[in-house]
A and B are shown apart, each in its own frame.
Chain A
Amino acid sequence: MTLKISRLALIAFGLLINSSRVTADSTLVAVASNFTKPMTEIAESFEKATGHSAKLSFGSTGKFVSQIQNGGPFEVLLAADETGPALLEKEGFVVSGTRNTYAIGKLVLWSATPGYVDAEGKILKTGSFKHIALADPKLAPYGAAAVDYLTKQGLLEKTQALMVLGENISQTQQFISTGNAELGFIALSQVIENGKIASGSGYIIPTHEYATIRQGTALLKNGAENPAAIALLAYLKSAPALAIIEKYGYDLAK
């Protein structure tokens, strides 16, 4: 009698485990720092919608690329540019045909002090700040975009000596939000809430004044067989995900 019951329980338990394995998988995702907030939200809604889960790792695109080249376990990459995914594809780390532009980033000149940055960004020409923070242009697309903008405005020379470089866009924001740098260039998504800049003061740079920040995604070979990874890439194109991306001030790729 007892034997029967316990055997039954065992079978039921085994079924339970099996079924959960079939329906819910988990995928490891490398996410560029600027996309931290939207991706956190997207992952939540992705989990609700599909039952799969996404484990997110945030950092600079450059770091992720070199980690992936050296055996990093990531299955999906959400880069801050398109050159990273392209390079990885050329080197055979990407499942071919999976590269896609998921968002177009916007650059903002931001200060933690309210009223410090004016609506047209004139402060760059007139201000007497000591430090201007940006992400290292060699490593981070937003840093490169900032340099591009400054060059086009003829302000590179003036600002060069005042530049402090963050290792990624999040660290750049830290420099500014702690007041160590009076202002700096970061991603709009980092400071936007409900369609406007939530704290401090900022100037959203018109997109035509710097090289477009096209943010690319790709399915990596590690995730080629993982249903969750494949589902996540598909979900990024779904209406709820696109709404979240737009909400954080990104443009969508046409």
Chain B
Amino acid sequence: MLSPADLDTLWLTFKVASLSTFLLLLIGTPVAWWLARTQSPAKGFINALVSLPLVLPPTVLGFYLLILMGPNGALGKITNTLGLGTLSFTFAGLVIASVLYSLPFVVQPLQTAFNGIAQQTIEAAATLRASPLNTFLSVVLPLSKSGFLTAGILGFTHTVGEFGVVLMIGGNIPDKTRVVSVQIYNHVEALEYTQAHWLAGCLLAFSFSVLLVLYTVLKTPPQVQQLK
């Protein structure tokens, strides 16, 4: 059975993933919109930057974050000056890392959805008295509903599945940074196979049901080649 400590990691994972997904959609939407619409020469650069976590080993990101967030790192200096302390080993630090790590999984489906909306449709809304914000809310949003759903689900599940970065910057603190993927790893290392099985089973069931929803309820499943 799942121990209280295991349940804690599940609950913590849920919190990290929910908050990260919320932030990812908040940040990813304008980024994806900009990428879908811009003619700027910086587009390629930003696209590559956002997509980096797709190809980069999580340990690379974890390593840089550990350095950056540390008291001698740029980010650490800023947060220290602001009186926030360093972000490593904290819930906030974990959420920030998750956002960076899962960014392409949210930006790319959104970008694809936005690309599918013709410029003329946006212009038509403008000729019908809709302000840019109004156009976004009443035309773009409903037309890219499935893109948002895909982005949200992928962002959430990818954060749940995150391991390497958490291992490197989390410090494995119960209720703060000990998420389920790390807990499974610890169970395996401590040779607690039964508990590892329980947690791993939970994750397997969760991931499969999410993908099942994506591929059956949603008629436009995410394209693997688009994500990898």
A-B pair count, CB < 8 Å, reads 69
Of all chain A residues, the one with the shortest Cβ separation from B72 is A179
Q: Does B161 contact A (CB under 8 A)?
A: no
Q: Roughly how many angstroms separate A171 CA and B70 CA in the complex, as a whole number?
A: 15
Q: Does A60 contact B (CB under 8 A)?
A: yes
Q: Does A178 contact B (CB under 8 A)?
A: yes
The size bracket of the interface on A is: 20 to 34
Interface of A is mostly: mixed
Q: Does A181 contact B (CB under 8 A)?
A: yes
State which of B66, B73, B186 has its C-beta within 8 Å of the C-beta of A174: B66
Which A residues are CB-close (under 8 A) to B69? Answer: 180
State which of A87, A163, A167 has its C-beta within 8 Å of the C-beta of B167: A167
**Contact between chains at A164 and B189 (CB < 8 Å):** no
Q: Contacts A63-B189, A66-B189: A180 and B70 contacting too (C-beta < 8 A)? A: yes
Q: Does B171 contact A (CB under 8 A)?
A: yes
Q: Does B143 contact A (CB under 8 A)?
A: no
Which A residues are CB-close (under 8 A) to B22? Answer: none
Q: Roughly how many angstroms separate A174 CA and B168 CA in the complex, as a whole number?
A: 9
Q: Does B181 contact A (CB under 8 A)?
A: no
Taking the nearest CB of chain A, how far is it from the CB of B59, in angstroms? 11
**Contact between chains at B189 and A165 (CB < 8 Å):** no
**Contact between chains at A163 and B173 (CB < 8 Å):** yes
**Contact between chains at B188 and A165 (CB < 8 Å):** no
**Contact between chains at B171 and A175 (CB < 8 Å):** yes
Of all chain B residues, the one with the shortest Cβ separation from A139 is B189
Which A residues are CB-close (under 8 A) to B171? Answer: 131, 133, 164-166, 175, 180-181
Knowing that A138-B190, A175-B88, A180-B76 touch, tell me 14 more A-B residue pairs with CB under 8 angstroms: A62-B190, A130-B85, A164-B89, A166-B171, A166-B172, A167-B172, A167-B185, A167-B186, A174-B66, A178-B67, A178-B73, A179-B70, A180-B69, A180-B171
Complex A-B, nearest 4 residue pairs according to Cβ-Cβ distance, in ascending order? A164-B171, A62-B189, A165-B172, A180-B88
